[in-house]
Homo-oligomer: A and B are copies of this chain.
Amino acid sequence: MTTVDPALGGCPAPAAEREKILLGHGSGGQLSAELLRDVVLPGLGGAGEGVPEDGAVVPVGGVDLVVSTDAFVVSPLFFPGGDIGALAVHGTVNDLAMMGAAPVALAVAYIIEEGFAVADLRRVTASVGTAAAAAGVPVVTGDTKVVGRGAADGLFVTTTGIGRRLPGARVSAAYARPGDVVLLSGPIGAHGTTILSARESLGFEAEIASDTRPLHRLVATMVAGAERDIHVMRDPTRGGVASALNEIAAASRVGIEIDEAALPVPAPVAAACELLGLDPLHVANEGCLLAVVAADRAVAVLAAMRSAPDGRHAVRLGEVVDAHPGRVVMNTLMGGRRVVDMLVGEQLPRIC
C-alpha cells in the first residue's frame, strides 16, 4: 500500500518507509519484538532467527561460548540500589546466566556527552569495577567515544559478555513442556518502580531500591544436579514477568498458568504501581529470574534456589499447560481468570 505525502511534493512513498522509531520499540514488549522480526533480523540475514534469547551460543574449538550484548541507557544514572555501571555488569552477567553460562569476560563501551562530569564517569567506572569484581568476572577491554553536547544524554554504557556454558545446561525459551512448573526467584517490580520514582521524585525511593544483582551463582546452584530438568531460564527485565512468560509461551507453543496469590509483590511496590496505574507484571526487574522446570524436579530446584542468597524468596508461580498455546493466564485473587498480555508500547522508557 502506498500513500501520498504532501510534504514530499506528491511523490507516493510506501507507508512503511515513512515510519518512525517510537519509544515503545525499545520497551522489550510487542513493538520491540516486531522491530526485531520485521527490520533487524531480515537485514542481518536471519541471524538469531526464531526464538528470541538473551544471547547466542558460539562453539569455538570444542568450547560452547555464550555471547550477549546490551546497551544501557537508564535515566537517572544513579538511583537507589545501584547505578548504570552496576546495572550494565549485572544485566550482562544475567543474560549469560539465563543461557546457562558462567561469565568469563566483559567488554564495556562508553558513549559520553561532552560536558559530562569526570567525577561522575569515575563513579560509574568504579561501580563497573566493583560489580565485575563482586561477580568474579574481569573487564578485559573497552572503548570510549565522546559526542557533542545534546548528541547524547550524559552517558550510555554498552556491555558485552563472554561466557562458557555450564556442563549439561541446555536451556531455551522454546523448551517449556506441558506439565512443567514455573518458578520465580524473588520479589518483582522493585527496579522499574525505583527508577520511575527517582526520576519523578515521587518519594517511593525512600522505601524501595532496585533489585539489581548478578544471578549467575544462583543459576550455578540450580543447574548443579538438575542439568536437563531446567528447561527455560529468563530474567524478566524490560517488559516484566508478563512479557518474559509470553515469550516463553510463544516460543514453546504452550500455555502458561500462574497464580496471583503466589506473586511476590512487595507492599511499597504494590502501592507505587497502584498510584501510577502500572501492572507489576509489566514492571522491569534486574535481580530475579523465571525458571521452567520438569515437574518431578520442581521441589528440589525450588529448595536449591531457596538455599542460595539470591533465591531465598523463591516461589512456585504456576505451571505449563497444553491449553491456550501461546497465552499466559492468571488465576486471580478474586477467583477469576485473566489473560496476561505482553507489554505493548512503552510503560516507562529508559529503565535499563
User: Are A23's CB and B114's CB within 8 A?
Assistant: yes
User: Are B43's CB and A349's CB within 8 A?
Assistant: no
Kindly identify, within residues 130 to 168 of chain A, every residue whose CB is under 8 Å from any CB belonging to chain B. Answer: 132-133, 138-148, 150-153, 156, 158, 160, 162, 164
Q: Could you tell me the distance between the alpha carbons of A71 and B164 in the complex, rounded to whole angstroms?
A: 25
Tell me how many chains of this kind the complex includes: 2
What is the minimal beta-carbon distance from A347 to any residue of chain B, in angstroms? 13
Tally chain A residues at the interface, Cβ within 8 Å.
86
User: Are B111's CB and A21's CB within 8 A?
Assistant: no
Interface hit among A54-62, A175-183, A203-211: A54-62
Q: Could you tell me the distance between the alpha carbons of A205 and B286 in the complex, rounded to whole angstroms?
A: 47
User: Are B117's CB and A19's CB within 8 A?
Assistant: yes
Q: Could you tell me the distance between the alpha carbons of A278 and B113 in the complex, rounded to whole angstroms?
A: 25
Max count, chain B CB within 10 A of own CB: residue among A65, A153, A158:
A158
A-side interface residues toward B, CB under 8 Å?
Answer: 16-27, 32, 35-36, 39-40, 42-45, 47-48, 53, 55-56, 58, 60-63, 65, 67-73, 75, 104-105, 107-119, 121-122, 124-126, 128-129, 132-133, 138-148, 150-153, 156, 158, 160, 162, 164, 349-350
Other contacts beyond A44-B142, A47-B129: 17, CB < 8 A:
A21-B115, A25-B144, A40-B121, A43-B126, A44-B108, A45-B132, A47-B140, A53-B141, A60-B63, A60-B164, A61-B164, A67-B141, A70-B143, A71-B144, A151-B350, A158-B158, A160-B160
